[in-house]
Amino acid sequence: MEKHLIPPHGGTLVDLMVGPEREAELKRESRDWPSWDLTARQALDLELILNGALSPLTGYLTRDNYESVLDSMRLSGGTFWPWPIVLDVSEPFADTVSDSEGSAITLRDQEGVMLAVLSVTDIWHPDRDEELEKLFGADAAGEAAARDFAALTHPVYLGGKVEGVQLPIHYDFPELRATPRDLRSRLGRRGWRRTLSFDTRSPIHRPDLESTRRAARRTDTNLLLQPTVGETAKEDLDHYTRIRCYKEAATHYPHQTTILSLLPAPTRRAGVRELLLQALLRKNYGATHFMFRPNANLVNGEERELTPQRHEVERAFARYADELAIEYTPFEEVVYLADRDVFVPAEEAAGNGRAMTLSEHQVRNRLHDGREIPDWFSFPEVVAELVKTYPPRSKQGFTVFFTGLSGSGKSTVANALFAKLLQLGGRPVTLLDGDIVRKNLSSELGFSREHRDINILRIGFVASEITKNRGIAICAPIAPYDHTRGAVREMIEPLGGFVLVHVNTPLAVCETRDRKGLYAKARAGIIKEFTGISDPYEEPEDAELVIDTTDLSPEEAVHKLLLYLSNQGYIEANGMPAV
Ligand code: PPS
């Protein structure tokens, strides 16, 4: 161990990976043990336990340690420890584990690969209300985070020592995933005695580069860009894009002054306690200083600060300064002064009307609308990565979802739209017509409410995959139920566009057309549960477009649709065919 580096928490860097002999023994013995498949969040915790990032823990907290941590942020032996690391499991699983001495379980990843063995010494039901209050506090932000945490956490806790067989596998960016041991030896080789670990959940743009370089100068440290890449919230940038952005941004720091290394940790939005834990993790990786970029998230369309107030953080870090040993370094926001082409601390620029900055949300909006990200704000390579992930609407995927009675003209208009969109070119187009789907994807289904729902959700799933991958899906089932159409909308909207088209040709017209002779059969009672005759059709109230084909030709209907898509930015207006 490099002597001049900061000592790990508790004095020794734990390594829980076993040698080949013990591994073979554990694999043999584990055949009769219950297996727990770790959730993504649990796999992150386990990785940090196994690789020593959670030193001095040698497994999951026992019950007395858990209670002590909850009450006083200390392990029962007195070591400072802010957050309870326990394994949460379901009731039925807990029933299969006996709490007698020596009962062991196998911990596996989602694919069933054996990662570790837990020798269970404690099994208990936590008092959830008490736990949430102590961990998350009582303010509104804490409350929302606590709800999410509770929803993701199983009701029974297990504690005991862990032996590692295999570190969780990451196929992406392995070169950026140093263990605490690896990173410490790297810092040692470079002779870095003072290292500032910087955490951020958003991409690094020019102001962040400026802030971090200033902070490193202020604290006389070298810079470790150590973003947390664990699970992400729904509204976050996916971690592949984030990491590609970090790699690009890292090249803009002066050579040899900065290291980029990922921290595979879950994010619980749990305020000060979580930040204290984050600091300990980073200390175990060899950092002497810890800085994070305050995190704002969109809550009901408004940007809301999620990290606790600066004075609260400072107070907590000051209180435990000796035991933490790693120092807290506040993040100083900078703003851009265009007339001088410089960044200055936001405080210095107070009152200067020309000071410029962009929030994460504003960046996202600009990308969404296909507007430019200015050069003063970011690096071209980082912007290029973001544009790949947040293409403007004209390059996003979308779904046009027709709904309406049998014979209303859905299929005809859908087919005409299909042809026009192919003629326009640029994106792959898939037509999921009701009949085609029922012949292939849903061939075993009938027309009960349950079967219709399964059918529509299948169509929705396929359309969502197409939309996600930037294609165009055109669906044309009857889809008679509002609730199910809503579920499809929810599936697709986060991935691209969703346009619900109600083809509301009146029943009488559909029945008169009766191309397939089905209405006659339905009236005669030969076909049961026929939509509009003996089965309900719930008219949509949320359709983006309503068309009635009684007096509208397919060409006219398609023109209406193309106009809508072009106004919304999904297709380029100049490609619009003339009527
Ligand atoms: S649903 O409700 O969305 O699952 O229906 P969908 O998959 O679009 O299938 C509708 C086509 O199936 C034929 N058909 C029936 N429709 C409604 N009710 C009953 N009971 C029924 N039995 C058969 C009918 O031809 C529909 O085709 P379209 O193209 O809509 O006329």
Tell me, in angstroms, the distance from the centre of ligand 1 to residue 340's CA: 67
CA-CA-CA-CA torsion for 200, 206, 209, 214, nearest 10 degrees?
-120
Instruction: Note the pLDDT of residue 296.
Output: 57
> Does residue 480's CB lie within 6 angstroms of at least one atom of ligand 1?
yes
Instruction: Note the pLDDT of residue 264.
Output: 93
Task: Report how far residue 493's alpha carbon sits from residue 487's, in angstroms, rounded to the nearest whole number.
Answer: 10
- For 7-34, write each residue's pLDDT tens digit: 999 999 999 999 999 999 999 999 989 9
> Does residue 518's CB lie within 6 angstroms of at least one atom of ligand 1?
yes
- For 224-247, write each residue's pLDDT tens digit: 999 998 766 666 778 888 999 999
Instruction: Name residue 153's amino acid.
Output: T
- For 337-352, write each residue's pLDDT tens digit: 988 999 999 888 877 7
In CATH, the number for domain 20-164 is 3.10.400.10
CA of 516, closest atom in ligand 1: 25
In CATH, the number for domain 174-335 is 3.40.50.620
Share of the chain above pLDDT 70, in %: 94
Structure tokens at 181: 């041991």
Three-state DSSP state, 118: strand
pLDDT of 410 above 60: yes
- pLDDT band of residue 51 (cuts 50, 70, 90) is very high
> Does residue 407's CB lie within 6 angstroms of at least one atom of ligand 1?
yes
Q: Which residues pair with 196 in a beta bridge?
A: 223, 289
β-strands 156-164, 289-292 pairing: unpaired
Task: Report how far residue 577's alpha carbon sits from residue 579's, in angstroms, rounded to the nearest whole number.
Answer: 6
Three-state DSSP state, 520: helix
Domain boundaries, the chain: 20-164, 174-335, 393-575
Judge whether 116 and 164 are in contact, CB under 8 Å: yes
- For 375-388, write each residue's pLDDT tens digit: 999 999 999 999 98
Torsion-angle region of 301 (φ positive above 0: left; ψ -120 to 50: alpha; else: beta): left
Q: Which of 435, 443, 478, 488 to mutate to test the pocket of ligand 1 (most atoms within 8 A of CB)?
A: 478
- pLDDT band of residue 299 (cuts 50, 70, 90) is very low
Question: Atom 21, ligand 1: which residue's CA is nearest?
Answer: 530
Q: Which of 411, 435, 443, 549 to mutate to test the pocket of ligand 1 (most atoms within 8 A of CB)?
A: 435
Instruction: Note the pLDDT of residue 269.
Output: 76
Judge whether 475 and 399 are in contact, CB under 8 Å: yes
Query: Please, what is the angle between helix 310-319 and helix 272-284, to 10°?
Result: 50
> Does residue 434's CB lie within 6 angstroms of at least one atom of ligand 1?
yes
Quote the mean pLDDT of the chain: 91
- pLDDT band of residue 1 (cuts 50, 70, 90) is low
Tell me, in angstroms, the distance from the centre of ligand 1 to residue 502's CA: 16
Instruction: Note the pLDDT of residue 101.
Output: 54
The residue ranking higher by pLDDT, 190 or 148, is 190
- pLDDT band of residue 113 (cuts 50, 70, 90) is very high
Length of the chain: 579
Task: Report how far residue 279's alpha carbon sits from residue 327's, in angstroms, rounded to the nearest whole number.
Answer: 8
- For 511-522, write each residue's pLDDT tens digit: 999 988 999 999
CA neighbor of 304 nearest in space, from 148, 140, 147: 140
Share of the chain above pLDDT 90, in %: 75
- pLDDT band of residue 298 (cuts 50, 70, 90) is very low
- For 150-173, write each residue's pLDDT tens digit: 888 999 999 999 999 999 989 889
Instruction: Name residue 179's amino acid.
Output: T
Q: Do the first three CATH levels of 20-164 and 174-335 match, i.e. the same topology?
A: no
- pLDDT band of residue 302 (cuts 50, 70, 90) is low
Task: Report how far residue 231's alpha carbon sits from residue 234's, in angstroms, rounded to the nearest whole number.
Answer: 9
- For 446-482, write each residue's pLDDT tens digit: 999 999 999 999 999 999 999 999 999 999 999 999 9
Fold category of 393-575 in CATH:
Rossmann fold (3.40.50)
Question: Atom 12, ligand 1: which residue's CA is nearest?
Answer: 435
Task: Report, as an integer, the average pLDDT of 65-70.
Answer: 97
β-strands 334-337, 342-345 pairing: antiparallel
What is the helix (H) or strand (E) element at residue 243, kind and residue range?
Answer: helix 239-250
Tell me, in angstroms, the distance from the centre of ligand 1 to residue 446's CA: 9
Three-state DSSP state, 91: helix
Instruction: Note the pLDDT of residue 26.
Output: 95
What φ, ψ does residue 335 adopt, rounded to 5°? Answer: -130, 165
> Does residue 530's CB lie within 6 angstroms of at least one atom of ligand 1?
yes
pLDDT of 2 above 70: no
Tell me, in angstroms, the distance from the centre of ligand 1 to residue 458's CA: 15
Tell me, in angstroms, the distance from the centre of ligand 1 to residue 526's CA: 15
Instruction: Note the pLDDT of residue 579.
Output: 42
Instruction: Note the pLDDT of residue 578.
Output: 46
> Does residue 537's CB lie within 6 angstroms of at least one atom of ligand 1?
no
